[in-house]
Each structure stands twice: as C-alpha cells, then as structure tokens.
A = this chain, B = another copy of it.
Amino acid sequence: MELLKERIRKDGKVKEGNVLKVDSFLNHQMDVKLFIEFGKEFKKRFADCDINKILTIEASGIGVACIVAQYFDVPVVFAKKNQTKNIAGDTYTSRVESFTHGKVYDILVSKEYLRPEDKVLLIDDFLANGAALLGLSKLVKDSGATLVGAGIVIEKGFQDGGKIVRESGVRVESLAIVDAMDEKTGTVVFRE
C-alpha cells in the first residue's frame, strides 16, 4: 500500500535493535484517517471472504481493528493480556512472547465471543516474530471457529513471523512489508 509506505518513509524512525518507531501515526498517536484507508484496502483484499468477526489483541491492534470492522460490518473481539475481575467463566488462552515488551504473557478470549460457527479475520498492527498472531490463531483453532486470514499493517519481512504463520496455512495480507532497515541512515527498504 503506497500511502502507508510513504508515511513510514516520512514519519517512521529506525531505532537500535530492529525497532521501527511509528508511534506518531500507528501505535501511540493514531491517524484515524489513515486507518480508514487500511479498512478499504483490507476489504478489497478479503472481498471474496465470508467474515463475521474480527479478532485482535490489546492494545495497539484495537484501533485499527475497529476502523477496519466498519468496512466488513462486523464486531471486533480483542484478546486480553491479563486476567481481570470482569472476565468470569471460561476462556480460551494462549501463551505469547512479546518482542516489544520482552516478556511472556497469556492472552485470553471469553468462550462466549468465539464460537464454532464464527469466520474470523485477525487484524494487528505489527507482524514480527509472529508470536501474537500464532497466539491468536490458536485461540481461533481452540474455539472451532474458521480462521479466514490475517490483515497486518506492517510486517517485518526480515523476521521469521510471516514465513512461519503462512507456512502454518494462514493467509496473511500485509499492507507494507519491510525487508531491511538501517538505523544509521534511517533507510527502510520495502518488499515489492
């Protein structure tokens, strides 16, 4: 998606440790107008699919997922990272190792909101080592629902996640795939 690549080139910052900082428009401050374009693009790419629910993970996936959901006319469910008093009863859970936060945590979804008859599209802002996406896939699988695919805003193509998730049989559509970054020059190379 050319609009997104241009925005990453303009506002993204390459930091030490393969970090692409895009918090001016994607995951701290959120450019909702840009998210609307993501919604249209994902709708185009998954136009042939029967989807009745979007699943994402807190926190930064939620904004994109809600805007995108308008184009599919479906509700969003977000997987929670910590057990809270307000989630009672049965949940599907999965263990995730976060690259960003450098820690391991459980994600969970109430069984009420993932049903065997659901046709689920995963939405997330980043795909790097694939841990979050594999965790979400497991929740869908455990529920007996159908996993239609995954829509990712930025994929780090130089990490293994995309390959692993695709090889597991999940259709992944990424709006921008970064194949290389250089923190010294600030250069970002996108896959064609």
Using a CB–CB cutoff of 8 Å, the interface residues on chain A facing chain B are: 15, 17, 19, 21, 23-25, 27-33, 35-36, 58-60, 62-63, 65-67, 69-70, 73-78, 80-82, 84-88, 100-102, 109-110, 112-113
Contacts and interface: CB of A to CB of B under 8 A. Distances in A.
B77 A29 contact: yes
B76 A102 contact: no
Contacts of A36: 70
Contacts of A35: 66
Query: Which of A29, A77, A78, A82 gathers most chain B CB within 10 Å?
Result: A29
A85 B101 contact: yes
Given A30-B66, A62-B59, A75-B32, A110 B80 contact: no
Contact of A85 (B28, B87, B102, B112): B102
Contacts of A33: 73, 75
A33 B60 CA distance: 20
B77 A28 contact: yes
A109 B23 CA distance: 11
Q: 9 smallest A-B Cβ distances: which pairs?
A: A58-B59, A63-B66, A62-B62, A59-B59, A29-B113, A32-B69, A30-B76, A29-B77, A62-B63
B110 A28 contact: yes
A17 B63 contact: no
B76 A100 contact: no
Contacts of A109: 28
A71 to B, nearest CB: 10
B30 A86 contact: no
A80 B29 CA distance: 11
A102 B84 CA distance: 9
B100 A84 contact: yes
Contacts of A15: 86, 88
Contacts of A23: 86-87, 110, 113
